[in-house]
Structure 1
Amino acid sequence: MSQETLFTKIINREIPADIVYEDELSLAFKDINPQAPFHVLIIPKKPIATINDIALDDRELVGHLYYVAKQLATEHGFSDEGYRVVMNCNENAGQTVFHIHLHMLAGKMLGWPPYTDNAKT
């Protein structure tokens, strides 16, 4: 299931994004609707629609996304004070772009539960 998404267009440079990190496997860019002072999306370059679509062979790729989050936290000075990394799966969880992505949020005290309404992210 390989449909072109907004994120595919960002990877292919068909639409602009404020890219903060890129390597051969992944891309990270600032969220256009930030929920924290530092809010980036970390995506694999391989299109995977949802967490439910992650295959056994994708384990290292998904782990790599978390490694990139750790690197960004260190680079931007959030590793000691804390940051949140979350991945939504399907509509009821707030997924609106069907290409897996980590939301990395930092730069303020984050509450729990993270969402108390039906807002999409």
Structure 2
Amino acid sequence: MLATAKAESYLRRQNLIVCLSDSAGRCHKNSNKAMLLFFDHNNNQHFDISTDELLEQQRLSPRYAQLHLRAGNRHYIKFWGDSGRPRGFFGHIKYCPTSSYNQSKYQISFNQGGIVKYKPDSAHPTGC
């Protein structure tokens, strides 16, 4: 979804938001329900069904893990339409198992250039 956000924001020349959403559909950095990709027409950094345009929604609800978005104090990632990059936005999404089997910890990181990387816990500790 991060790669799609980068491409779509640049091709359409519009800012896009990617976020984890809670059960009420609001963006929240510690949510497990869904990941949203949308045009934030009212610029409030939350998806509003009556105003915003949803491009993609991926249901998540992992059974044995928690997800955490870390992008400063923000609960979203904004991809800018003039470059397709998350300018001023960098961080990662952590996958933290809740069960005793914690070998599958990892993070998906992104930088201000829009480069997305998979980082297993063995190479880059997640801190879960």
Normalised TM-score (structure 2): 0.28
Q: Which has the higher strand share?
A: 2
Higher helix content, 1 or 2: 1
**Relative contact order (C-alpha < 8 Å, sep 6+): which is higher?**
1
TM-score by length of 1: 0.29
